[in-house]
Amino acid sequence: MSSIPKEHDYIGLSESPAMEIISDKLSPSSTSSSTLTAVEKHSSGSSKNNNTSLNLKETELRLGLPGSQSPERKPTVPAAGVSLFGKDIDTNNANAYSLNPLKNLVSGAKRGFSDALDGSTGKWVFSDSNGSEKSRVAGPANKDFAQSPKPVQDKNSQVAAANENSSAPAAKTQVVGWPPIRSFRKNTMASSLVKNNEDVDGKSVYGCLYVKVSMDGAPYLRKVDLKTYGNYLELSSALEKMFGCFTIGQCGYHGLPARDGLTESCLKDLLHGSEYVLTYEDKDGDWMLVGDVPWDMFTDSCRRLRIMKGSEAIGLAPRAMEKCKNRN
């Protein structure tokens, strides 16, 4: 069984260039017709790659206005101008305006996506609206602009008129001057973080230790700072909070120093009892079950985390056992 997880492109989203193209065309100087053409061209190219297992209507892009209400759904429209997923937005609100759609492409999308998932799968809800992978956001926008030309045309002039022109290049998702932090602090923080992240073996004596966390079935990656947790229990409850309902096998956790590592029977329980298990890629590039080594050793060697379906993780067991045995 392959130990390297595949990154599934669940929504048939293409990489960030799509977003750049769209945002270019939404800039104030473009005309609506050229916007449409460019997007249509692009979307026809990528439609072949779509994984259409999702309800497309849910992912339809509408160019909406902040503060406007969705007539059919809960009024949870983000203040941002664009919601990529699952929101019908009233585009006739004369008083409203659009922010630079690019800026809000991502933020609106993140919120929208979580709402869509909430509705359609009921399975997991992102409790905060962070963590969408920027490159994946672009897809539906790309694809569905063609399907809803009217909003784009109507709103383009308002977009142009009310744009806060930021000198940020198209691909940037940051808003100028937001969050409101003074330059001195920004620069100081930035240089400290760079220093930490450049640490060759990934371990920082001070500062943060970020690793990516992916979950099978979720198109979004998160990053966590392992230094904020003191043991496996804290990590697993934090991840459960983040990724909603799934259960991580409790073997080796609860502060047990895991001197013994995972025992064979423990492993079996683990994999058959829970729907998902928490795995990590270690320094050697191997995928291991989390909990097999003492916590400090784990933070030292963990490169990334993956919340894997229990059934898939069974394949890890033999290797995990081997490594355990070697250590003991």
Partner 1 sequence: MGPNPKMRKEFFDSTRSSPFPDEVLERVLSLLKSHKDLSPEIVARRFPRVKSVTLKGKPRFSDFNLVPENWGADVHPWLVVFAAKYPFLEELRLKRMAVSDESLEFLAINFPNFKVLSLLSCDGFSTDGLAAIATHCKNLTQLDIHENGIDDKSGSWLSCFPENFTSLEVLNFANLNTDVNFDALERLVSRCKSLKVLKASKSISLEHLQRLLVCAPQLIELGTGSLMPELTACQYAQLENAFNQLKNLSTLSGLWEASAPYLPVLYPACTNLTFLNLSYAFLQSHELESLLCQCPHLRRLWVLDTVGDKGLEAVGSNCPLLEELRVFPADPFDEEVIHGVTEAGFLAVSYGCRRLHYVLYFCRQMTNAAVATIVQNCPDFTHFRLCIMNPGQPDYVTNEPMDEAFGAVVRTCTKLQRLSVSGLLTDLTFEYIGQYAKNLETLSVAFAGSSDRGMQCMLEGCPKLRKLEIRDCPFGNAALLSGLEKYESMRSLWMSACNVTMNGCRLLAREMPRLNVEVMKDDGSDDSQADKVYVYRSVVGPRRDAPPCVLTLSGL
Residues numbered 221 to 240 that lie near partner 1 (CB under 8 A) are 221-225, 227-228, 230, 238
Quick check: 80 binds partner 1 (CB under 8 A)?
yes
Helices 17-25 and 101-120: angle between axes, nearest 10 degrees: 120
Helix (H) or strand (E) holding 308: strand 304-309
The set of residues, in sequence order, having a beta carbon less than 8 Å from that of 199 and lying 6+ positions away, is: none
Instruction: Pick the stretch among 18-26, 94-102, 259-267, 271-279 that binds partner 1 (CB under 8 A).
Output: 94-102
Quick check: 242 binds partner 1 (CB under 8 A)?
yes
Instruction: Pick the stretch among 44-52, 122-130, 136-144, 281-289 that binds partner 1 (CB under 8 A).
Output: 122-130
Distance CA 114, CA 58 (A): 11
From residue 19 to residue 38, what is the string marking binding to partner 1 with x (rule CB under 8 A)? Answer: ---------xx---------
- In the numeric block, the tokens 């979580």 are attached to 114
The residue among 60 and 115 lying less far from partner 1, judged by its C-beta, is 115
Quick check: 175 binds partner 1 (CB under 8 A)?
yes
Quick check: 121 binds partner 1 (CB under 8 A)?
no
Q: Which of residues 260-299 bind partner 1 (CB under 8 A)?
A: none
Quick check: 74 binds partner 1 (CB under 8 A)?
yes
Quick check: 182 binds partner 1 (CB under 8 A)?
yes
Cis upstream peptide for 179 (omega within 30°): yes
Quick check: 17 binds partner 1 (CB under 8 A)?
no
Distance CA 252, CA 111 (A): 35
187 CB-contact burial (10 Å; exposed 0-12 / middle 13-18 / buried 19+): exposed
The set of residues, in sequence order, having a beta carbon less than 8 Å from that of 261 and lying 6+ positions away, is: 252, 292, 293, 324, 327, 328
Quick check: 71 binds partner 1 (CB under 8 A)?
no
Q: How far is the CB of 228 from partner 1 (least distance, A)?
A: 5
Candidates 2, 53, 167, 328; binder of partner 1 (CB under 8 A) is 167
Comparing C-alpha atoms, which of 291, 293, 289, 284 is closest to residue 313? 289
Quick check: 97 binds partner 1 (CB under 8 A)?
yes
Instruction: Pick the stretch among 8-16, 110-118, 254-262, 306-314 that binds partner 1 (CB under 8 A).
Output: 110-118
SS3 category, 210 = strand
The residue among 1 and 193 lying less far from partner 1, judged by its C-beta, is 193
Quick check: 208 binds partner 1 (CB under 8 A)?
yes
Candidates 110, 155, 306, 323; binder of partner 1 (CB under 8 A) is 110
Quick check: 178 binds partner 1 (CB under 8 A)?
yes
SS3 category, 280 = strand
First-to-last CA distance in the chain? Answer: 25
Quick check: 219 binds partner 1 (CB under 8 A)?
no
Distance CA 325, CA 132 (A): 39
Comparing C-alpha atoms, which of 139, 112, 136, 106 is closest to residue 125? 112
Quick check: 48 binds partner 1 (CB under 8 A)?
no
The residue among 137 and 251 lying less far from partner 1, judged by its C-beta, is 137
Q: How far is the CB of 317 from partner 1 (least distance, A)?
A: 28
Q: What is the largest CA-CA distance in the chain?
A: 70
Quick check: 99 binds partner 1 (CB under 8 A)?
yes
Quick check: 207 binds partner 1 (CB under 8 A)?
yes
